[in-house]
Amino acid sequence: MEKPFYPLYKALYLAKEKTLNLRPFIFAGISGIILHVMLDAPLYDDILPFYPLTTNPLYNPSLTSTIYNLCLLSGVIGVAYYLIIVIYNIAKKH
């Protein structure tokens, strides 16, 4: 699927070369799954991160605001980093 999406990746400054490597996509997918489960586990008692255990030892609803704030901060940092990359690439073209 990388060939049809390459123009989009390039337009969004997500790829530099014509040949995209599958390794970063696999790493991002696996780490995203793990982080999602680990961030949801303290929030919801029905999440079973250590299945077949029938309890969630990580459940701690007092961490809700901390986890939401961490996600918000990560999002702001990610958007800022992306904007820096876009501005840098636009400035480099001119």
Q: In whole angstroms, what is the distance from residue 55 CA to residue 57 CA?
A: 6
pTM of the model as a whole = 0.73
Domain that holds residue 17: 2-93
Identify the pLDDT of residue 19: 65
Q: Is pLDDT of 18 > 80?
A: no
Beta carbons of 4 and 20 less than 8 angstroms apart: no
The type of residue at 18 is K
Q: What does the block give as tokens for 26? A: 């696999």
DSSP string spanning 2-46? Answer: HHHHHHHHHHTT---SSSPPHHHHHHHHHHHHHHHHHHHTTT-TT
Select the more confidently predicted residue: 5 or 39. Answer: 39
Q: In whole angstroms, what is the distance from residue 87 CA to residue 39 CA?
A: 32
Q: What does the block give as tokens for 49? A: 């991160």
Predicted confidence (pLDDT) per residue in 21-75, tens digit: 788 889 999 999 999 999 999 999 998 988 898 999 999 999 999 999 999 999 9
Count how many domains the chain has: 1
Identify the pLDDT of residue 66: 96
